[in-house]
């Protein structure tokens, strides 16, 4: 079917998915571009395709067509693509694996997306988010993951309660600080671990840090006070994956 008006109820509903309250209400989110749509399809999350008229992208899902004006209306990109996917949200897992990344109050969508991408690249089993961390289905987060959102398990729970539970199951809890703790390069191999990374401005909450077994820091030039949280997390995950 070809949709030509932004006043159409279906188009209005898709537009609402740019807001978290409607993503939560409908349990859906959008992806833009061929690559992200294919990643969603390969993992069984793609529900529907929205294509600009005359675009060919043959996937065995419900497909509807729209005008260029509607593509521009629906897109959050400065240069919209002509392919949009409507996706079902991921189901939360019960088994979390042995290699855990825990994120405390990450607020920047680009940072969260980059961290998710690095976590998938360096073999993290599960990402655990604090309730106040930015929504993983925020369009900017989704785009920054470059599709890795679909390839790693992510849950959102109270971190203090989860840390206490994991400590009883033999996980080593490692917090991150800018200067205090064990040099990252000296960390020994671990069977089961949790790495905790904190907010862009404030780091890891003090109450959470008190529950950690050890602290990690990245040695760097004294001229540099700190690193962007996504960069620092990527370095930590790379070193621990060696």
Fold for the domain defined by 2-88: 60s Ribosomal Protein L30; Chain: A; (3.30.1330)
> SS3 helix, strand, coil % of the chain, rounded to 5?
35, 25, 45
Q: Which CATH number fits domain 99-240: 3.30.479.30, 3.30.470.10, 3.40.50.300, 3.40.1280.10?
A: 3.40.1280.10
Taking only the tens of pLDDT, the chain with its 242 residues reads: 899 999 999 999 999 999 999 999 999 999 999 999 999 999 999 999 999 998 999 999 999 999 999 999 999 999 999 999 999 999 988 889 999 999 999 999 999 999 999 999 999 999 999 999 999 999 999 999 999 999 999 999 999 999 999 999 999 999 998 777 888 888 888 889 999 999 998 999 999 999 999 999 888 888 887 889 999 999 999 999 87
Name the DSSP class of 68: H
Spell out the SS3 assignment of 184-211.
Answer: HHHCCCCCCEEEEECECCCECCHHHHCC
Helix 229-240 and helix 109-121: axis angle, to 10°? Answer: 10
Domain with CATH 3.40.1280.10 in the chain: 99-240
Rounded-to-integer distance, Cα 115 and Cα 241, Å? 15
Structure tokens at 217: 């820091």
Q: What residues have CB less than 8 Å from 47, skipping those under 6 apart? A: 28, 61, 62, 85, 86, 87, 88
Domain with CATH 3.30.1330.30 in the chain: 2-88
């Amino acid at each position: 079917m070809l949709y030509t008006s932004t006043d159409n109820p279906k188009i209005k509903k898709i537009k609402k998915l740019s807001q978290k309250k409607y993503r939560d209400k409908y349990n859906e989110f959008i992806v833009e571009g061929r690559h992200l749509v294919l990643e969603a399809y390969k993992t069984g999350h793609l529900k529907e395709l929205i294509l600009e008229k005359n675009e060919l992208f043959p996937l065995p899902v419900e497909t509807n067509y729209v005008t260029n004006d509607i593509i521009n209306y629906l897109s959050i990109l400065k240069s919209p693509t002509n392919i949009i996917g409507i996706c079902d949200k991921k189901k939360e897992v019960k088994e979390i694996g042995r290699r855990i990344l825990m994120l405390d109050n990450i607020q920047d969508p680009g940072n969260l997306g980059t961290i998710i991408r690095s976590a998938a690249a360096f073999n993290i089993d599960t990402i655990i988010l604090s309730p106040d961390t930015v929504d993983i289905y925020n369009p900017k987060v989704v785009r920054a993951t470059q599709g890795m959102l679909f390839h790693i398990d992510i849950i959102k729970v109270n971190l203090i309660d989860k840390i206490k539970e994991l400590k009883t199951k033999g996980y080593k809890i490692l917090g991150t600080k800018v200067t205090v703790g064990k040099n990252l390069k000296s960390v020994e191999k671990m069977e089961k671990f949790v790495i905790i990374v904190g907010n862009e401005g404030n780091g890891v909450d003090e109450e959470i840090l008190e529950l950690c077994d050890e602290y990690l820091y990245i040695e760097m030039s004294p001229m540099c006070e700190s690193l962007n949280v996504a960069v620092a997390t990527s370095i930590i995950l790379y070193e621990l994956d060696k």
